[in-house]
Amino acid sequence: MEVCRQQIFLTVALVLMTGSLAQVFSFGKCPQVQVKENFQLESYLGKWYENRRFFAIFEAFSSCVSANYSLKDDGHIKVVNQGYIKFLKKRNVAIGDAYAPDVNQSAKLKVKFGNAPLGDYWVLDTDYDSYSVVYSCSGYGGIFKTEFSWILTRDRNGLSETKMLELLYNMSSSGINVKRFSVTDQTNCPN
């Protein structure tokens, strides 16, 4: 019984430490999701606007969030994420490095920002020209999971309601709880 308590304590402590990075925490297993087949990195590069996101502490209070992806000489991707905290009138910038560890699964990227742990950045779907669906999930013994997810658009104003509902339906059908999304404010953004 004591060993069981210790295992539960260690599992909860690990989840809470991971939760301090503040992705969405919940009970259960990670869903089995499919990533974009034949992902074309070159077509994915450029600027994207965050339309929706799961809560993450590093984005708390951020509006006007965008991401810019560019190819580096070493084949990795330079990631420049920007956001704006309106009530502080402060711009936030985070610069990271991303790469695909397996060329046969190029939509399963790894990304690192500063001292933060290496994270997953899985492109579930994109048409390269208007939308991208990004997701990651870390499971802890089938009991807990932590998730990140974003819907990105090339246009700051987002997508048609029909297209957005289609993306949300597809994610929900894959076992992702789309009720966890919040819409990112992209109004009155500074230049």
Please give the pLDDT value at position 7. 46
Question: How do residues 19-58 score in pLDDT, each as one tens digit?
Answer: 444 467 789 999 999 999 999 999 999 999 999 999 888 7
For residue 128, tell me if it sits in a domain. Answer: yes
Whether 94 is in a domain gets the answer yes
Q: What is the pLDDT of residue 6?
A: 44
Q: Choose among 140, 137, 139, 138: nearest CA to 7.
A: 140
140 located within any domain: yes
Tokens of 137: 């999930």
pLDDT of residue 2: 56
In total, how many domains does the chain have?
A: 1
In a domain, 190, yes or no: no
Please indicate, yes or no, if residue 191 is contained in any of the structural domains. no
Question: Is residue 60 in some structural domain?
Answer: yes
pLDDT, tens only, 55-97: 888 788 899 999 999 999 999 999 999 999 999 999 999 999 9
Boundaries of domain holding 30: 2-182
pLDDT of residue 23: 65
SS3 letters for 97-135? EEECCCHHHCCEEEEEECCCCCEEEEEEEECCCCEEEEE
Q: Do 132 and 152 contact (CB within 8 A), yes or no? A: yes
CATH, residue 110 = 2.40.128.20
Token pair for residue 90? 């402060």
- Of the candidates 85, 127, 83, 120, the one whose C-alpha atom is nearest the C-alpha of residue 105 is 120
pLDDT digits (tens, 9 = 90+) for 152-177: 999 999 999 999 999 999 999 999 99
